[in-house]
């Protein structure tokens, strides 16, 4: 399974990325082949369970570094044409570069070998570009409940209150913040910085106000006829 993102600027310049869902890599890589900021111990997330003696590089940094460097000279506010191709369908949107980069990096991060992000692989497999906040809430909570179904089949437990999901968003906040430190060391244009800052904002917002966002879409599931 793969996705393809094509960014076309008004001046004719284009960027094309084909990203496979499964990207197996060796745990120890040649450091001369990658920039310093991709090494595991460079601003390593404090909640990262990987050890430097076992892994030479951060899986997310390795998977995303070419994409981020490609955007180094593109401002986040710049309007571009973005087409996204998956095995099932194609999407198109004219929007700012940051929106497209956020969608692409979100897929790369969620499908990487990062153990902290591994719970997001199911959502990444059914990737939805340009998702709104309501769509994101719907997809994340639905995915979590499905994951809880499989947990229940094994253990008999089920987290109906989304307590585990709220805690997971806190883990993601930590990861996004420290990954942003990596990007600051690697990129000069604001596009790359803004996209990670936005991801950080989304995870922070959902960890603090998930219940409120769920109430906003509750009417979609309320089948009780009004009196």
Report yes or no on 196 lying in a domain: yes
pTM, full prediction: 0.83
Q: Residue 116 sits in which domain range? A: 2-221
Report yes or no on 161 lying in a domain: yes
If one counts the domains in the chain, the total is 1
Q: Is the dihedral of CA 39, 40, 41, 44 positive or negative?
A: positive
Question: pLDDT digits over 24-34, tens only?
Answer: 889 999 999 99
Cα→Cα distances 64→108, 133, 140, 193, 215, Å = 7, 23, 22, 13, 35
139: burial class by Cβ within 10 Å (0-12, 13-18, 19+)?
middle
6: tokens are 């094509």
Report yes or no on 226 lying in a domain: no
Cβ–Cβ under 8 Å, residues 189 and 75:
yes
- The arithmetic mean of pLDDT across residues 179-196, rounded, is 66
Report yes or no on 122 lying in a domain: yes
Question: pLDDT digits over 122-150, tens only?
Answer: 999 999 998 888 888 899 999 999 999 99
What is the structure's pLDDT at 78?
A: 78
Report yes or no on 155 lying in a domain: yes
Report yes or no on 227 lying in a domain: no
Report yes or no on 41 lying in a domain: yes
Report yes or no on 92 lying in a domain: yes
């Amino acid at each position: 399974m793969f996705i393809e993102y094509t960014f076309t600027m008004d001046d004719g310049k284009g960027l094309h990325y084909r990203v496979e869902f499964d990207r197996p890599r060796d745990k120890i890589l040649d450091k001369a082949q990658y920039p310093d900021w991709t090494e595991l111990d460079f601003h390593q997330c404090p909640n990262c369970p990987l050890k430097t003696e076992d892994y030479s590089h951060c899986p997310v940094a390795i998977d995303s570094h070419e994409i981020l460097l490609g955007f180094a000279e593109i401002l986040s506010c710049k309007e571009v044409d973005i087409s996204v191709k998956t095995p099932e369908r194609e999407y198109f949107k004219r929007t700012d570069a940051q929106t497209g980069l956020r969608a692409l990096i979100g897929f790369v991060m969620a499908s990487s070998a990062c153990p902290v992000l591994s719970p997001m692989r199911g959502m990444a497999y059914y990737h939805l570009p340009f998702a709104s906040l309501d769509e994101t809430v719907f997809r994340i909570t639905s995915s979590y409940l499905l994951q809880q179904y499989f947990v229940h089949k094994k253990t008999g437990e089920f987290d109906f209150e989304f307590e585990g999901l709220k805690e997971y968003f806190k883990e993601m906040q930590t990861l996004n913040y420290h990954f942003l430190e990596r990007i600051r060391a690697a990129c000069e244009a604001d596009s790359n910085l803004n996209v990670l800052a936005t991801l950080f904002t989304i995870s922070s917002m959902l960890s603090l106000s998930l219940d409120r966002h769920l109430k906003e879409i509750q009417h979609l599931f309320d089948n009780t006829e009004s009196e």
